[in-house]
């Protein structure tokens, strides 16, 4: 016996059996529905005073029979089975209405959110025969509207369904001109505040998405008076987003705001898309880029912590919620484990990280004993920290126009006249809304900056957002407990900054203008470092050699 779906409460055994009988009906593959099927459905519907529906697949087979009450019908969970990005579900819903209602908002929502091939509604007349009939389907990109409805005569309706659906899907397919084969993503920001700031942050999210290996195909910014507690964006917007993703062949929906565990769950289950937030994206980038054992452990720890509350709320669907991007990264396979194992793993990593951190501290001690002051290069991601290290020490650290190019800090010795030396360390960049767990997971790496004798705070002053970047860096340093470490502001990328702006900022911040790329200002910078470290009183940790 095939299973019946929906609201089965109060169904008599005979009614149950009659409904089961619908599983034996077949629709010709090239028809939306057959007059016989429609008639049987309206008949049953009228007898039971309930809506009756069937999901029909592309071969014309009745996949599911659903029963509702007099007013509505709930479609059961259809799982994630779809032919692919930008494709439809492969089933259409055919169902009855009892009170002459036209296609309802619910029907159209199902159409969009479930990506049904189409929805057919047929009125069950008082005598049990089919009355007014209508169908609806989603519209391809550029049609101006999300969907279209069309009335038909249930007795003579002979539109070719298989041709129709093939055409429609072809119009939904991302164009073949697209040579970029990376997975497509739609990025979204919802704000109750300043739209301009949100837009900038969204632009940054686009760069992050790109770094993570996804292709941004659309950006959506919604300004709302209030955030929606359930799904962050409103219900209408969410529906639009799903259709947008379908039009563009995007499987990923990425939010600039951190989603609460329940928001993540709600959006993921309602849209059937891979849902990520900024935090998860950053974690994903980190997991792709970490190379040292320490870096990998740190990322895994942060991922475990991010996932824990989400694991609790949705224990069975973890891979779907937090599979990240293609499930890459060091910790990825281990993340499928259950919660208890996750806790154990977390404790183990914390211990291992402690050991590594101790070794690091010992190395620092040793350096201090031999009298080597430590200078750390800190700053917003992509500010030019690694370029500066390379320029100053002839190192060959990877420097590129990418967010988070550096994850594992590199240290180099730098000689000054009179046999004096410092150790110069490159560090992980900071970013706005940097997840707290990540900051803490990277504690041991970032301790390099906390314990430094001098911080070179590198700011890319050619960026419109330089002020915000600097403030973000200061805030993160304070969070790390490095608020009181002496610092030198480095106004980097001077070569492509307007001189007037350069002067204003240099005055305001008391910093030095340089270019890591051209080397301009380098001598002055070295001199300032020398003065601060060797002449402006002894470095914090260096004891006089008597
Ligand atoms: N024009 C110009 N470009 C620069 C300068 N300094 C760095 N860049 C460029 O900016 C980009 C980022 O430089 P990186 O040195 O990788 O920046 P970073 O701060 O180490 O970045 P992360 O490690 O990703 O946080 C690269 O494309 C550099 O070539 C500069 O002074 N002038
Ligand atoms: Mg770098």
Q: What is the per-residue pLDDT across 331-341, written as a single tens digit (0 to 9) for each?
A: 334 445 566 77
490 Cβ closer than 6 Å to some ligand 1 atom: no
Cα–ligand 1 centroid distance for 427 (angstroms): 13
Sign of the Cα torsion 33, 38, 41, 46 reads: positive
The span from the CA of 409 to the CA of 81, in Å, is 44
Atom of ligand 1 nearest to the CA of 426: 20
Whether residue 104 has pLDDT greater than 80:
no
Residue 355 lies in a domain: no
Element (H, E) at 252: strand 252-255
The span from the CA of 346 to the CA of 391, in Å, is 39
Atom of ligand 1 nearest to the CA of 428: 25
Residue 364 lies in a domain: no
Which of 285, 382, 494 most suits a substitution to test ligand 1, by most atoms within 8 Å of the C-beta? 382
Average pLDDT across the chain, whole number: 86
Q: Read off the tokens for 392.
A: 């100053």
Whether residue 122 has pLDDT greater than 60:
yes
Q: Indicate the pLDDT class of residue 105, thresholds 50, 70 and 90.
A: confident
Atom of ligand 1 nearest to the CA of 387: 15
Residue in this structure with the two tokens 């990540």, named with its chain if needed: 438
User: Do 231 and 331 belong together in one domain?
Assistant: no
Cα–ligand 2 centroid distance for 516 (angstroms): 12
Q: Indicate the pLDDT class of residue 457, thresholds 50, 70 and 90.
A: very high
Residue 215 lies in a domain: yes
Which of 323, 311, 319 lies closest to 284, judged by CA?
A: 323
Whether 66 and 53 have beta carbons less than 8 Å apart is answered as yes
DSSP string, 468-512: HHHHHHHHHHHHHT-TTS-EEEEEE-GGGS-HHHHHHHHHHHT-E
Cα 433 to Cα 48, 212, 282, 324, distances in angstroms: 56, 17, 10, 19
User: Do 385 and 529 belong together in one domain?
Assistant: yes
The torsion defined by the Cα of 280, 281, 283 and 286, in degrees rounded to 10, comes to 170
Cα–ligand 2 centroid distance for 517 (angstroms): 13
Q: Read off the tokens for 265.
A: 């769950």
User: Do 296 and 277 belong together in one domain?
Assistant: no
Q: Indicate the pLDDT class of residue 175, thresholds 50, 70 and 90.
A: low
Among the residue ranges 7-16, 237-246, 331-340, the one predicted with the least confidence is: 331-340
Residue in this structure with the two tokens 């379908």, named with its chain if needed: 246
User: Do 11 and 79 belong together in one domain?
Assistant: yes
Whether 314 and 321 have beta carbons less than 8 Å apart is answered as yes
Q: Indicate the pLDDT class of residue 411, thresholds 50, 70 and 90.
A: confident
493 Cβ closer than 6 Å to some ligand 1 atom: yes
Residue 488 lies in a domain: yes
Domain count, the chain: 4
Q: Read off the tokens for 253.
A: 């929906």
521 Cβ closer than 6 Å to some ligand 1 atom: no
The span from the CA of 421 to the CA of 436, in Å, is 34
pLDDT digits (tens, 9 = 90+) for 57-83: 999 999 999 999 999 888 887 765 555
497 Cβ closer than 6 Å to some ligand 1 atom: no
Sheet containing strand 420-426, edge to edge, reads 411-416, 420-426, 374-379, 454-460, 487-492, 512-513
User: Do 383 and 450 belong together in one domain?
Assistant: yes
Cα–ligand 2 centroid distance for 106 (angstroms): 50
Q: Is 233 exposed, middle or buried (0-12, 13-18, 19+ CB in 10 A)?
A: buried
Whether residue 523 has pLDDT greater than 70:
yes
Residue 139 lies in a domain: yes
Residue 313 structural domain: 288-349
Element (H, E) at 389: helix 385-393
User: What angle (nearest 5°) sits at the alpha carbon of residue 11, between those of residues 7 and 12?
Assistant: 170
The span from the CA of 189 to the CA of 433, in Å, is 13
Residue 544 lies in a domain: no
């Amino acid at each position: 016996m095939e299973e019946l779906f929906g609201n089965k409460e109060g169904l008599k055994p005979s009614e149950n059996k009659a409904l089961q009988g619908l599983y034996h009906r077949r629709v010709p593959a090239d028809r939306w529905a057959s007059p016989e099927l429609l008639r049987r459905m309206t008949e049953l519907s009228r007898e039971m005073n309930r809506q009756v529906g069937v999901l029909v697949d592309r071969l014309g087979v009745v996949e599911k029979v659903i029963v509702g009450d007099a007013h509505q019908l709930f479609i059961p969970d259809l799982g994630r089975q779809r032919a692919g990005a930008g494709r439809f579900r492969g089933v259409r819903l055919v169902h009855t209405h009892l009170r002459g209602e036209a296609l309802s908002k619910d029907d159209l929502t199902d159409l969009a959110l479930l990506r049904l091939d189409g929805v057919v509604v047929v009125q069950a007349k008082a005598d049990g025969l089919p009355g007014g009939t209508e169908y609806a389907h989603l519209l391809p990109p550029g049609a101006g509207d999300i969907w279209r409805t069309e009335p038909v005569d249930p007795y003579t309706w002979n539109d070719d369904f298989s041709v129709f659906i093939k055409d429609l899907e072809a119009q939904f397919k991302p164009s073949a001109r697209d040579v970029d084969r990376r997975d497509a993503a739609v990025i979204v920001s919802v704000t109750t505040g300043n739209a301009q700031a949100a837009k900038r942050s969204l632009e940054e999210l686009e760069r992050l998405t790109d770094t993570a290996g996804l292709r941004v195909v659309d950006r959506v910014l919604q300004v709302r008076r209030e955030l929606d507690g359930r799904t962050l964006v409103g219900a209408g917007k969410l529906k639009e987003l799903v259709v947008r993703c379908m039009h563009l062949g995007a499987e990923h929906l990425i939010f600039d705001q951190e989603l609460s565990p329940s928001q993540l769950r709600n959006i993921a289950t309602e849209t059937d898309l891979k849902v990520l937030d900024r935090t998860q994206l950053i974690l994903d980038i980190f997991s792709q880029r970490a190379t040292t054992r320490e870096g990998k452990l740190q990322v895994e720890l942060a991922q475990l912590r991010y996932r824990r509350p989400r694991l609790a709320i949705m224990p069975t669907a973890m891979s779907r919620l937090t599979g990240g991007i293609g499930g890459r990264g060091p910790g990825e396979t281990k993340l499928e484990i259950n919660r208890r194992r996750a806790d154990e793993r977390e404790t183990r990593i914390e211990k291992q990280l402690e050991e590594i951190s101790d070794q690091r501290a010992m190395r620092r001690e040793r350096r201090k004993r031999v009298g080597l002051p430590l200078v750390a290069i800190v700053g917003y991601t992509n500010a030019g920290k690694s370029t500066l290290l390379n320029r100053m020490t002839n190192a060959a650290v990877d420097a590129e126009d990418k967010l988070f190019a550096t994850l594992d800090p590199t240290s180099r010795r730098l000689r000054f006249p009179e046999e004096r030396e410092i150790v110069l360390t490159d560090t992980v960049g900071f970013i706005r809304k940097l997840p707290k767990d990540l900051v803490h997971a990277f504690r041991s790496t970032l301790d390099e900056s906390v314990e430094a004798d001098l911080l070179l705070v590198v700011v890319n002053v050619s960026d419109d957002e330089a002020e915000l970047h600097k403030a973000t860096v200061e805030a993160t340093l304070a969070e790390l407990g490095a608020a009181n470490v002496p610092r030198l502001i480095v106004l980097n990328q001077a070569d492509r900054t307007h001189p007037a702006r350069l002067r204003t900022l240099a005055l305001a911040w008391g910093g030095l203008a340089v270019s890591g790329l051209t080397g301009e200002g380098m001598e002055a910078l070295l001199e300032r470092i020398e003065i601060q470290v060797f002449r402006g009183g002894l470095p914090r940790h260096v004891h006089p050699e008597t």
